[in-house]
Structure 1
């Protein structure tokens, strides 16, 4: 028996707000609150074949969105698939399709939401749009309950509700519990296109929308009552679905198209292939310039290539690679969007050209839910095989069928098929037809593994299709590396001094993909936008730092007189350089050069202490008479995170240690921070005589620029003892910190959950980048910061610029040369473009 609290969100008709409420409910239940102090693990499911809603569910729950469709997989698999998808979850939320009782036409409600509710014994919560209803809502609800007594309708959520008076009238008319009343909010509307909603992967503000949905549902829906309904669901006497399939030998690599243009596929497809012993590797046809190394099978699912036709066509190297692979017999499955991508053209735009057809947008939508019979023996089928599937497209192909058709649907031959290719408009759910996955895996296993060391032999077109940009980039590599070799051969050549004023923002010029500026790649959270707007609205008054000092003090367990807001960290360094007549200033390098430059501008002599090849702090190397020591933690550009104990060991009477913690909030848990005045982190703060202007101590400089994407706001601050803070404030230009910056400080001082999420994102992106570079034989410094210091070789920095990629040159940091670059952590899709460009540069040079 499986214990699984669950509900199904249904409606009298489509357009009532099922997706809005269901997705918001998933997000709200996942978030901590009085109903679940630590939040719940939520599993999201969708009735029907739809791919788009599960994408929103996945973003809301942090788990794959799953489909439950009796037509596609058969009624007997619905409960097992539900239990499989909900493994480890506290609750399952199932979003219905169309109206509650609407299913396959002519089949008495087969595959309807009601059908799935009965198959899974799940209580139903009705969502009713009451924007234009009053007591009639009660009549509709009564009819829904009476229509089929076997369907348990346990409550109602009123959506797009108006006045309190009308809501009260509706509630009196209902004979069901009202679990929530959600007011109309136009911000919750999701954009649509010719096939429905815009997929979550294509919406830049998807995360913010999900957050807003969760907030609205948490505010206006009784989550405890919803949980009570979910817990009435009886235990399920079923075994979870498992991908039963015979493993193949050799672990063949299956390249699966993803990214913004290919968002439609069922997670069980990849699970079946993995169970068969395949290695499933995603690639993005918009970004990647080659198929994954070792590809022995290609799966091109659904999506919107018609929206991205020009961008897909511009990626000539990948299209040539795919065409060569298909033509050489690499097993390839293409469903709907995959067929369009393989076509000769799409609305006049050249595509891969592996299938002899031209595709174009049509006036009418094709939507059908058929049985299909295999028209021939092929890669996936044997003649006479019968499957169930769905078609949903607004394009047509000319011709519409190849010499060997893939399927017969309603007597019509469709698609293209051969022993190595299966391409058509029909979408199938392989959990219902696992023999499709079995045959695909077996064909991939029989395909010889390509020799990636001789990729041009297999794909001879790759070199021929190089763009002029690629050729110029490779020429640049040769020229610059030749220059570097000549310099090395002439040791008497003067080595230029590092440019201490060089900054990453000058690298990221228009038209280049930015890996040079260490700012979080993503939109700012809504609460920060509101704070910045409120700060701007207060610009008619002189800035007052009181609230910011109080908020930051609370954040770090200090008192307000230990906090000084500054116009970015750069102002803090200028103040620190001038606050005392430092006799011996030491800067640990390689490190952020702005503190060094500030000391030079203040007329101070600077002693540089360089680290070894591991870039780790050696406290014993700091001169005993140093009265100022500046170090980054984590260090920019190395990313190395020093031990708090080593930093504390530098502090002594008469010495001030300045720790630049500009990036430490981008590391989950902020390990080895010395920002708090407690014994477990900074015992020096409790030692009498430490922290004063004359007595020495530890001073921490922080910046809000990096993690929160606000470099133009200039929001930084200093943490030190009151005497040092007073001395710095006396040097500070009056009102140097703007009201928006102060508002941001207040808002971000209590941004724990969002801060943790961003830190986790950055860590994942950074680890992925470091791993990919290491696999290419590139030396990567073992760091923790949201960037990677990589030794790529002389000339690569300039060559990448020729490829449209901006990375931070590193020879401006004392202790580094032009063989190093610093690369900011970015989402995997962007990182893929960097890696593709880097591969081309490396290939040409080698």
Structure 2
């Protein structure tokens, strides 16, 4: 059937240019303007379609030639777009990037060519101008089968910058459909497998509304719709699940895991099961205490059980029912997350225990397309059958010798299987292999429905996590530090120093510095290295003995009339200013607005303003634009960026922004684990830095500290810092999501620690249970209903969360 479907593909030169942000924003803006929009994603990714669904109000769909075959792409596109008058297809990676060695197979360009869809190119222009024109020209002319119909410029630094890029593209005859500036992007938070699913973002709908408004204001939606309407007709019938399966009798119930921990299921999977005569019932393993009535089969799809481990293990009634169901032979399919859920444990946190295997987090991401062979007849497969799949995880399951494998892949046995079980890391798209749905439906029809579980009375839950109104009528102990929390036998979650090992090159630099200890230290080389890293003049850099010395120098540098410290934050500025004889004024941010800085709350009379970014202890990252608004003639603004190196990309950093009166402090203590070396630096306004230099005693920065400054300013250090920052993001997600599952309010974090509000007395209860967290009542603006928790490896975090749950 030949039919017209207005459509376009959103692509980019590479990952990180803003495809998901722009594609989702376009879907939401077009839907808000009256279009019925269907959202599609090139590739196997589950997470982006969740945002598409939120934007369009329709199920998000995937178009992946490896998983379903080229011949099914157009039919699946038409199926997903039934009832819609416009389809938006978000690409994957760079426009022409596909399977390694596959000559672009399964790339965005491949799907665009097969579906004959025009392409809207999103380009991050933050680091170039006229070169963008050359890049777009190359992409547009690389493959005649791909038609780039328009360009959207993302992360423009200014109107002048955008105009320069626009002029470089004009000769190509491609319209620039819109420009988004660096401060416009609303980015979905990431974790160890990419973006955080929309189902897990309580603020996702609000963020999407803001994004849709920005897109509608800054992108020409009329021109975008015209590009969609220019797509040629599709000569393909819509895919229909009923054409590929035969209904079974009895409408057997298939229980499908859902909720926040299990968000990875293709829409076509449940559609095939329903077409095969099953009644699909979704249950939430985090909150439902029993399986749906009459359950005859289980489908446990992908997701993040490792992140939500504390909540899953706490649901003991459901875990026991599931363990018994698998043991009794209830047909069970488990993909990736489902496999982990069936294991004995994940990072020592108990799971269902249906498999004699355990899982743990690893630093390595496994991400690849696979072609697997069935070694034996099992619940889903028959010996010798071949299936396409993909693998996507950062965990490892300890294999069990002698177990029947689900697949044979690259000559290795993969997963666990049997007549009533099929569990492995491999994700399959059942539209590409509908016999999998047929076989599960037939097994469900032949199975005996589960009996209702025996409900045992249990004690009512307490309200230990109810927030307690903060009191600000006391004098905090400004001299208290995290290391004062430590004692023998306590797990350290109080000190924000990494537990990662010292990099080899840094250990060697420290060792080599010992050969120079017979000479007085000279900071010249180190300051030049730091200056090069941040694109500043050496005169604008001052090496210091950590941030503590920097605050002391600032306090003594001038006769401050009205110094202001923004709280809650690190108390060292208060201590230094008071010791220098200054009367310190506070501007206190509040929990009600997420401890965000309001620049207008700072008194105009302030001639010194000190603010952390990210702020200790709140972990809040203030927008750079808000910090710049603090600047005034005659005022010095000090931004403490001691934890900025824990932020991927160091977004919002002001170290490379020369502005009158602006001074930035950096500490190398936390990220590199060097509290005993005392290494830091100041970078900023040359006049202010000169005043600080005059206050500094000779040779105050040691030879070892200077060696650290020099070593951590190089390219190798920059790459390692980014890796560590991303590791912090991954590990922090485990802590934040675990606390959320426990019902504990958390301030949205950006650094290597989290501020939570579990209620009064929690600090002491955790300490008695063997865990040291940082008390918060020593910070102005907080009381003992708050605690600060350092980010640690997932196994440590899960041990904390399990203990915490037992305390309630």
TM superposition shift of 1:471: 3.2
* Paired position in structure 1 for 2:581: none
User: Pairwise mapping of residues 189-588 of structure 1 onto structure 2 (< 5 A)?
Assistant: 189-243=187-241, 244=243, 245-399=245-399, 403-452=403-452, 455-456=453-454, 466=456, 470-472=457-459, 511=465
Indicate which of 137, 142, 148 corresponds to 2:137: 142
TM superposition shift of 1:448: 1.6
Give the Cα separation in 2 of the matches to 1:17 and 1:228. Answer: 22
Give the Cα separation in 2 of the matches to 1:249 and 1:512. Answer: 50
TM, length-normalised to structure 2: 0.57
* Paired position in structure 2 for 1:746: none
Give the Cα separation in 2 of the matches to 1:359 and 1:533. Answer: 42
Give the Cα separation in 2 of the matches to 1:80 and 1:512. Answer: 52
Give the Cα separation in 1 of the matches to 2:175 and 2:129. Answer: 16
- 3-state secondary structure, aligned to 1:390: strand
- CA distances 1:713-771 after superposition (whole Å, capped 9, x unpaired): xxxxxxxxxxxxxxxxxxxxxxxxxxxxxxxxxxxxxxxxxxxxxxxxxxxxxxxxxxx
Give the Cα separation in 1 of the matches to 2:165 and 2:367. Answer: 36
TM superposition shift of 1:403: 1.4
In 2, are the aligned partners of 1:402 and 1:417 still within 8 Å (CA)? Answer: no
- CA gap of 1:473–1:177, structure 2 versus 1, over 3 A, is closer
In 2, are the aligned partners of 1:333 and 1:423 still within 8 Å (CA)? Answer: yes
In 1, are the aligned partners of 2:356 and 2:400 still within 8 Å (CA)? Answer: no
Number of aligned residue pairs: 474
Give the Cα separation in 1 of the matches to 2:395 and 2:415. Answer: 13
TM superposition shift of 1:263: 0.5
- 3-state secondary structure, aligned to 1:395: strand
Give the Cα separation in 1 of the matches to 2:103 and 2:14. Answer: 17
TM superposition shift of 1:511: 4.3
- CA distances 1:224-276 after superposition (whole Å, capped 9, x unpaired): 00000000001111100011210000000000000110000100000000001
In 1, are the aligned partners of 2:63 and 2:77 still within 8 Å (CA)? Answer: yes
- CA gap of 1:152–1:472, structure 2 versus 1, over 3 A, is closer
TM superposition shift of 1:150: 1.1
- CA gap of 1:5–1:192, structure 2 versus 1, over 3 A, is same
TM superposition shift of 1:411: 1.0
- 3-state secondary structure, aligned to 2:262: coil
TM superposition shift of 1:40: 0.9
In 2, are the aligned partners of 1:401 and 1:416 still within 8 Å (CA)? Answer: no
In 1, are the aligned partners of 2:21 and 2:185 still within 8 Å (CA)? Answer: no
* Paired position in structure 2 for 1:18: 19
* Paired position in structure 2 for 1:82: 77
1:27 equivalent to 2:22? Answer no
* Paired position in structure 2 for 1:157: 152
Indicate which of 59, 84, 100 corresponds to 2:54: 59
TM superposition shift of 1:124: 0.3
TM superposition shift of 1:186: 6.0
- 3-state secondary structure, aligned to 1:389: strand
- CA gap of 1:400–1:23, structure 2 versus 1, over 3 A, is farther
Give the Cα separation in 2 of the matches to 1:181 and 1:21. Answer: 11
* Paired position in structure 2 for 1:632: none
Give the Cα separation in 2 of the matches to 1:154 and 1:426. Answer: 36
- 3-state secondary structure, aligned to 2:102: coil
Give the Cα separation in 2 of the matches to 1:191 and 1:337. Answer: 20
Give the Cα separation in 2 of the matches to 1:69 and 1:224. Answer: 29
In 1, are the aligned partners of 2:155 and 2:183 still within 8 Å (CA)? Answer: yes
* Paired position in structure 1 for 2:182: 184
* Paired position in structure 1 for 2:666: none
In 2, are the aligned partners of 1:313 and 1:349 still within 8 Å (CA)? Answer: yes
Give the Cα separation in 1 of the matches to 2:459 and 2:400. Answer: 42
TM superposition shift of 1:169: 1.3
In 1, are the aligned partners of 2:261 and 2:304 still within 8 Å (CA)? Answer: yes
- CA gap of 1:362–1:472, structure 2 versus 1, over 3 A, is closer
Give the Cα separation in 2 of the matches to 1:313 and 1:352. Answer: 8
* Paired position in structure 2 for 1:808: none
- 3-state secondary structure, aligned to 1:317: helix
- 3-state secondary structure, aligned to 1:76: helix
Give the Cα separation in 1 of the matches to 2:221 and 2:306. Answer: 41
TM superposition shift of 1:139: 0.2
Deviating beyond 4 angstroms after TM superposition, the runs of 4 or more aligned structure 1 residues are 508-513
- 3-state secondary structure, aligned to 2:458: helix
Give the Cα separation in 2 of the matches to 1:7 and 1:311. Answer: 41
Give the Cα separation in 2 of the matches to 1:5 and 1:93. Answer: 9
In 2, are the aligned partners of 1:401 and 1:415 still within 8 Å (CA)? Answer: no
- CA distances 1:27-59 after superposition (whole Å, capped 9, x unpaired): 000113xxxxxx111100000000000000000
Give the Cα separation in 2 of the matches to 1:529 and 1:121. Answer: 47
* Paired position in structure 2 for 1:129: 124
- CA gap of 1:401–1:269, structure 2 versus 1, over 3 A, is farther
Give the Cα separation in 2 of the matches to 1:161 and 1:90. Answer: 32
TM superposition shift of 1:410: 1.0
> Which blocks of at least 5 consecutive residues in structure 2 are unaligned?
468-591, 603-808
In 2, are the aligned partners of 1:402 and 1:415 still within 8 Å (CA)? Answer: no
TM superposition shift of 1:512: 7.4
- 3-state secondary structure, aligned to 1:116: helix
- CA distances 1:584-613 after superposition (whole Å, capped 9, x unpaired): xxxxxxxxxxxxxxxxxxxxxxxxxxxxxx
* Paired position in structure 2 for 1:50: 45
CA RMSD in angstroms comes to 2.5
* Paired position in structure 1 for 2:636: none
User: Pairwise mapping of residues 99-114 of structure 1 onto structure 2 (< 5 A)?
Assistant: 99-114=94-109
- CA gap of 1:401–1:151, structure 2 versus 1, over 3 A, is farther
- CA distances 1:150-196 after superposition (whole Å, capped 9, x unpaired): 10110100001122112111111112110111111266122111111
- CA distances 1:510-549 after superposition (whole Å, capped 9, x unpaired): 5479xxxxxxxxxxxxxx989x999x989xxxxxxxxxxx
- 3-state secondary structure, aligned to 1:306: coil
In 2, are the aligned partners of 1:402 and 1:416 still within 8 Å (CA)? Answer: no
In 2, are the aligned partners of 1:400 and 1:414 still within 8 Å (CA)? Answer: no
- CA gap of 1:215–1:186, structure 2 versus 1, over 3 A, is closer
- CA gap of 1:227–1:441, structure 2 versus 1, over 3 A, is same
- CA gap of 1:472–1:361, structure 2 versus 1, over 3 A, is closer
In 2, are the aligned partners of 1:45 and 1:67 still within 8 Å (CA)? Answer: yes
In 1, are the aligned partners of 2:155 and 2:185 still within 8 Å (CA)? Answer: no
In 2, are the aligned partners of 1:370 and 1:409 still within 8 Å (CA)? Answer: yes
TM, length-normalised to structure 1: 0.54
Give the Cα separation in 1 of the matches to 2:43 and 2:276. Answer: 26
- CA gap of 1:342–1:91, structure 2 versus 1, over 3 A, is same
Indicate which of 90, 95, 112 corresponds to 2:90: 95
Give the Cα separation in 2 of the matches to 1:29 and 1:227. Answer: 9
TM superposition shift of 1:201: 0.9
TM superposition shift of 1:129: 0.2
In 1, are the aligned partners of 2:325 and 2:450 still within 8 Å (CA)? Answer: no
* Paired position in structure 1 for 2:606: none
